[in-house]
Structure 1
Amino acid sequence: MNDMQRLDARIRWMAYVGAAGLLLTAAVWAVALPWRSVMNGLLLGEAGGAYAVYSMIRYGHRHGGLEGKALFASGMLGMFTRLAVLAAVMVAAVKLPNVNPYAALIGYLLGFVLVFVGLYGYARNRGETPKEK
C-alpha cells in the first residue's frame, strides 16, 4: 500500500470515528435527560467541528497542484471559515437556551483532536514501508 492509499484509509478512519462519536453523543442525548444542556452543547460543537474536519480534509490539495500564493490563499480562506464557524457555534451556544457553551467548545475541539490523532498515527508510521526506486 503506497502513502496516498494509507492517507486515504486514515482519512476514512477519521470520518468513521467522527460519525460514531456524533451518533454516540446523540444516543446519550436521547437517554440522559438530566444532561440535556451539556449534550445540546456537545452536539452543536461536534456539528461545527465536523465542518472544520471536512474543511481541512477537502482543502488538503493532495492532487490539486497548488503552490506558492495560491496555496497560501487557500489555507488562509480555510482558516477564516473555520474561525467563523467557531464564532457561530459559540454565539449560538450562548444565545440558545439549554445549551452549555463550554460543552459546545469542547465538542468543536474534538474534531481537531480527531485530526491530530489520526494524522499523528499516519505520520508516525510513514516511511516504514520501503520505497521503490
Structure 2
Amino acid sequence: MGRRSRQRGRTDKLEAPTTDYASPDGEQVLTLRGALSPKSRQQYAATADPAQARAAANVEDVRARAIEFLFERLVATWVVNEVATAGAKALLARYRAATRAERTWITDVLREHCAEWFPDVKVP
C-alpha cells in the first residue's frame, strides 16, 4: 500500500485551529489559521526584510508584500456581506481588490492575531 493510500484512509487529519475576527461594522468576518510552519516563518522574515529586497523595491513595496504573504498563509476564509471567499487564489484576488479601509482592517487583524499566536512574527 502506497503512502497516498494510507493517508486517504485517515480520519484523524490534523487541522490548525482557527480564529474568527469580525469587522467593527459586522459586515465582514476574517477566519485566520493558528499555525505557521517554521519554513513559512523563514520565508516571511526574508520577504519582510528590506535589505533582501530587489533594488527597485522601496520600503512600501516590501511592507505590502510582507502583509500579502501573511494574508496568503493565514487567512482560511473571508466573509463579506454574507458572501464567503475561500481558496488561496480567490482570497488573494479578493484581497487585491479590497478597499483601503478593508486593507487597513485586515492589517490590524493580522497584527492582533500574530501578537497572540506568533509573537516572533512582526507585522509591518
**If the length of structure 1 is used for normalisation, what is the TM-score?**
0.31
Return the structure number with greater helix share: 1
Return the structure number with greater strand share: 2
The structure with the larger Rg is 1
